């Protein structure tokens, strides 16, 4: 990560919480009356305008959705838009424009916002004539610029057509280890509560992800560093109780395991007699023999005590050994030693 002053920092995970900016009309009075009648959030401020005449500026979905919310409080609501046609979905248009208290002011360009310490009117230009519309609240919805996406090159992070970063339910973006929270993330509400909730989820997930990353680094010391985020992103934590079978001899080999906490026993049955071959603890792994040789499990692994493991699917394991010859050699060596111990 490179900062504006040129310094670079590296981190196991990054949470992007850079928010965004409502697009401004940039007319006289807008800044002066911000918070005193000019607002960019109906849900945040609507209730302060009970029984007042209000204006919504904009013609898209946001303007209509927020406008619908404002009709709970407004005595009269003007919908001011620079074009005659609105871009909002037809269903939203029907609902809002069908109300008696709603009046359209189109095609009209807002020129100025004025009052006497608090908003009292907006000045609009319509059909070449300038007119004043008396309102006590102006809600501006002419766009929102989420800034998170501009921190990344376009092709490097998934975002929606409006530039909001797309995440899964854990706030993970299309780049493993990069999280997006709050206003810069594609979601229904831009509120403090959602931003804080997103951040809580992201932090908890990032903690777990970093732990997985460190385990992956320890298990595959010769693998390329750039493979690690992808690998950690594919690792699935598995908790087992004492005595629980994790893999069974003879079953298809479909995954690889790293022991994070606890201990597991490795058992092989020959001629109907089960023998314990090994005990594995934190940092050790199993499941490589079947995956490397494309054969069924040669042993059963059972938890000796409550244990935590990381499971890596077959596809990710195969990718890892295909991109890193050193890792393949390391795993081959372990597999050879284990097989030799089995036969002796
Ligand atoms: C006028 C106004 C009133 C509001 N009122 C309410 C309300 O009453 N209730 C409510 O729930 N919500 C309200 N909201 C919405 C609420 O403020 C946001 O939903 C919430 O703050 C989003 O949090 P965030 O962390 O995603 O972004 P922000 O709070 O916007 O924080 C982003 C931070 O990142 C910084 N930043 C941006 N780019 C960079 C960069 N490149 N490098 C480093 N730092 C960067 C910014 O300077 C900023 O400090 C209001 C919003 C506005 C604009």
> What atom in ligand 1 is closest to the CA of residue 19?
27
Strand, coil or helix: what is 12? coil
Cα angle 103, 108, 111 (rounded to 5 degrees) comes to: 115
Residues 295-310: tens digit of each pLDDT: 999 999 999 999 999 9
d(CA 13, CA 210): 7
> What atom in ligand 1 is closest to the CA of residue 147?
38
User: Would you state the pLDDT for residue 343?
Assistant: 57
C-alpha atoms less than 13 angstroms from C-alpha of 174 in its C-beta half-sphere: 14
* CATH number 2.60.120.10 given to 225-343: yes
pLDDT grade for 330, boundaries at 50, 70 and 90: very high
Ligand 1 pocket mutation, candidates 191, 193, 200, 201, criterion most atoms within 8 A of CB: 191
b/e 42-65 (16+ beta carbons within 10 angstroms → b): beebbeebeebbbbbbbbbebbbb
Q: What is the CA(184)–ligand 1 centre distance, in A?
A: 9
CATH code of 24-142, in short, is: 3.50.50.60
Residues 226-263: tens digit of each pLDDT: 888 888 888 888 999 999 999 999 999 999 999 999 99
Q: What is the CA(183)–ligand 1 centre distance, in A?
A: 7
Residue ranges of domains in the chain: 14-19+145-211, 24-142, 225-343
Q: Is the CB of 19 under 6 A from ligand 1?
A: yes
CB 301 within 8 A of CB 266: yes
Q: Is the CB of 196 under 6 A from ligand 1?
A: no
The average confidence (pLDDT) of the chain is 93
pLDDT grade for 154, boundaries at 50, 70 and 90: low
Q: What is the CA(50)–ligand 1 centre distance, in A?
A: 26
**Model confidence pTM above 0.85:** no
* CATH number 3.50.50.60 given to 14-19+145-211: yes
Q: Do 14-19+145-211 and 225-343 come out as alike in CATH topology?
A: no
């Amino acid at each position: 990560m490179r900062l504006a002053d040129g310094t670079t920092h590296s981190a196991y995970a990054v949470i992007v919480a850079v928010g965004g900016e409502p697009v401004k009309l940039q007319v006289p009075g807008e800044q002066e009356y911000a918070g005193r009648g000019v607002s960019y959030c109906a849900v945040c401020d609507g209730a302060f305008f009970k029984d007042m005449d209000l204006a919504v500026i904009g013609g898209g979905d946001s303007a209509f959705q927020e406008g619908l919310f404002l009709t709970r409080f407004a005595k009269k609501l003007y919908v001011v838009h620079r074009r005659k046609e609105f871009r909002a979905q037809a269903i939203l248009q029907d609902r809002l424009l069908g109300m008696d208290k709603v009046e359209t002011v189109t095609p009209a360009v807002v020129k100025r916002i004025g009052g006497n310490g608090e908003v009292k009117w907006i000045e609009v230009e319509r059909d070449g004539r300038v007119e004043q519309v008396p309102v006590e609240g102006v809600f501006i919805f002419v766009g929102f610029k989420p800034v998170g996406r501009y921190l990344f090159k376009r092709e490097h992070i998934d975002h929606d057509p409006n530039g909001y970063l797309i995440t899964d339910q854990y706030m993970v973006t299309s780049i493993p280890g990069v999280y997006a929270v709050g206003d810069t993330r594609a979601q229904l509400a831009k509120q403090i509560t959602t931003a804080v909730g997103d951040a809580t989820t992201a932090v908890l997930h990032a903690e777990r992800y970093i732990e997985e990353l460190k385990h992956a680094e320890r298990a595959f010391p010769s693998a390329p560093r750039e493979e690690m985020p992808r690998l950690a992103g594919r690792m699935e934590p598995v908790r087992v109780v004492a005595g629980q079978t994790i893999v069974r001899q003879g079953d298809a080999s479909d995954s690889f395991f790293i022991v994070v906490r606890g201990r597991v026993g490795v058992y092989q049955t020959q001629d109907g007699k089960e023998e314990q071959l090994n005990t594995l603890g934190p940092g050790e792994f199993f499941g490589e023999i079947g995956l490397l040789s494309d054969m069924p499990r040669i042993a059963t692994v059972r938890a000796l005590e409550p244990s935590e493991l990381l499971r890596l699917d077959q596809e990710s394991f195969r990718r890892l050994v295909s991109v890193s010859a050193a890792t393949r050699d390391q795993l081959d060596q372990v597999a050879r030693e284990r097989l030799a111990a089995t036969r002796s």
